[in-house]
Amino acid sequence: MSESKEVARSGPYVPPSVKAVVDLDGYLTPFAEEIAYRRKLADDWLAKLNGHEGSILKFADSYKVMGLHVQKDNSIRYREYAPNAVSACVIGDFNNWEHDKNVMNKEDFGFFDITIPPNSDGSPAIPHDSRVKVYFTLPSGEKIARIPPYITRATKPPKEYNNSTYEARFWNPTETHKFKNARPPLPESLRIYESHVGISTPEPRIGTYKEFTKNVLPIIRDLGYNTVQLMSIMEHAYYASFGYQVTSFFAASSRFGTPEDLKELIDTAHGMGLRVLLDVVHSHASKNVEDGLNMFDGTDYCYFHSGGKGNHDQWDSRLFNYGNYETLRFLLSNLKYYLEEFQFDGFRFDGVTSMLYLHHGVGSGFSGDYNEYLSPFAPVDKEALTYLMLANDLCTEYAKANHCGITTIAEDVSGYPTLCRPRIEGGVGFDYRLAMSLPDMWIKILKHQQDEDWDMEKICYTLANRRYKEKCVAYAESHDQALVGDKTLAFWLMDAEMYTNMSVLTPMTPVIDRGIQLHKMIRLITQVLGGEAYLNFEGNEFGHPEWLDFPRQGNGESYWYARRQFNLIKDDLLRYKFLYQFDKAMNTTEAKYTWLNCDPAYVSLKHGGDKVIVFERNNKIFIFNFHPTNSYAEYRVGVENSGVYRIILNSDAEEFGGHNRIDEEKSRFFTTDFRWNNRSNYIQVYIPSRVALVLALEGEIEEKSN
């Protein structure tokens, strides 16, 4: 009897492999054994890779062997995986596409291999940038030609061919880019500028890597962002897919320039102190057969699940089989390729929610109940979860081996517990997850509520609601909100007058005034209260006046909305400059005084009637008055630390399109030793309507100024 009581008193068994995450969050205790089981699945794969390949890093070096590679003697070795094929040969411009030449040797486990000797003059037999394919004979006798999955260059044929199918190119330039600048160290706070190279020009056309390097990187640096997130880099035959229907995973998109141009972009960014993340799409792949990975060896299961399990009906794409050894080789090598060859500083993993669940998150609302994620019967795709753990293992090991910081971010709307805890603790290993509920909240508020009806308590709850000790990237809007069919914050606020009343030569109308003031406040409160890092989609920082729509049949293949009008911020007669300057001030103030990547804020006031929110984070005081008309003199604000406070950021300043109602030079706020709103002291401030203030202790301001 006493023994059974002792067992009951000690609680459920917690395996040592997950004790760290369970100690951090006691609600995980009933699921400790399931979490340990899921961790073991990835640990077992690591042990297998260590035994068979030497390490996960060596396994991920497979891209140096798979595909086409020039050897020291200028012979070309080509190795391919196509288990269903009976025979294979290499065809291309170099051998006049003849099928009886360059026949590959069939090896065990579905591999084919060939070494093509150099020409008589010692040059490689396949010329640089010439077209190439692999040609298979299937068991049925059918012949098929395919683009090699590990190809590093794929291009669209010239217009006169009237063919949109991409072609594989043998990329072997005589001069390759030599990196000059080391990776910048991990910043104290991550401020991310989400970018798309192709739309980064005011003209209605496709921009280039070189143009982005010259014209956009300086803007990103000027704005105070320290990280660039590049979208749509992995080759995609359909431009309007926004890069999310990948056809050639190892090929940097040729529509923007050459691989060397992309390397130059990243190298230049590093020289500016900017880190660069790749938006990586390993959640699914294009259904294209002629220029994609689908049906590569004549089967639908070479890299993917077969049948319905291998198809994402909503996205009309193929789903990887993460339990397949060669699929893991392909995907992990893909990550190592971009880390090593292009010097990317990490990844934003797209579609993680789709990967994590057998239902792919379709039609499923997540309440936050741990059973939804961690019950042994929860619809979690454990093979996909294992892959995500291994991907983070790879990034961790690469960072250790190269003495650098590698960042991983998960696009997950479900709130999967432990997703952003280290693998060594029993977590999945991501550094951050995107706080995807935040932009949804702002759109619902702007779409359905009058200013007087805004609920300060609900706003604070949504912004601050995240898993304990799991970091989030906060954002008020991203590319999703910029796409046609949705609206950006600026459009929700001002679309009725953005084309007529953004000139400083016209009076400030109520619509434009409201839009400019709330645009600033929404972005600041989201950055400070919403997470440990911050993200902005290019152009949104200055209220870009148009949505984003790629050329497609539905719009007559127009590029008019597939561009960013950076020219607007250079026009002193337009009010876009005010939003730009505030975004810059917000980031540079954060860089100087730091509030991101700190302990979450303590909210001391969320007053529904006054429409005032007050909170502290890292000893800075943040005061927001969302009331459309009421300004408050001598408004009492609780603060924990005593001393004299001064303003370090004021959204009402004239240079930010504000009304300049506060004399910052004369604004010194002395604490009174009296408990207020659960804080040890209070100050009294003047807070005008639709204004945000950030205060810091005078001593810190003086210290930072020296």
Element (DSSP H or E) covering residue 657: none
Residues in the chain: 706
Rounded to 5 degrees, φ, ψ at 460 are -65, -40
Active-site annotation holds for 350: yes
In the numeric block, the tokens 């921009």 are attached to 207
Catalytic residue among 34, 261, 291, 411: 411
Q: Which residues pair with 195 in a beta bridge?
A: 230
Which residues touch 56 (CB under 8 Å, ≥6 apart)? 46, 49, 50, 332, 390, 393, 394, 397
d(CA 584, CA 579): 9
Which residues touch 467 (CB under 8 Å, ≥6 apart)? 25, 415, 417, 420
d(CA 433, CA 610): 33
CA 251 to chain centre: 19
Cβ burial of 316 (10 Å; 0-12, 13-18, 19+) is: exposed
d(CA 303, CA 327): 5
d(CA 386, CA 627): 48
Closest alpha carbon to 155 in 126, 147, 65: 147
Q: How far is CA 29 from each of CA 19, 141, 208, 386, rounded to the nearest angstrom?
A: 9, 57, 51, 21
Closest alpha carbon to 384 in 367, 406, 359: 359
Q: Which residues pair with 144 in a beta bridge?
A: 136
Active-site annotation holds for 25: no
Element (DSSP H or E) covering residue 92: strand 87-92
Q: How far is CA 232 from each of CA 59, 260, 281, 347, 579, rounded to the nearest angstrom?
A: 26, 17, 9, 13, 27
Strand positions, DSSP E, 596-673: 602-607, 612-617, 620-625, 632-639, 644-650, 668-670
CB–CB of 298/142 below 8 Å?
yes
> What is the distance in angstroms between the CA of the first residue and the CA of the last residue of the chain?
69
Closest alpha carbon to 13 in 44, 39, 35, 42: 35
Catalytic residue among 167, 350, 477, 590: 350
Q: How far is CA 482 from each of CA 333, 488, 564, 635, rounded to the nearest angstrom?
A: 32, 5, 11, 37
Give the angle subtended at the CA of 561 by the CAs of 530 and 281, to the nearest 5°. Answer: 55
Element (DSSP H or E) covering residue 684: strand 681-687
Q: Which residues pair with 622 in a beta bridge?
A: 615, 694
Torsion 579-585-590-595 (CA) sign: negative
Where in the sequence numbering do the catalytic residues fall? 350, 411
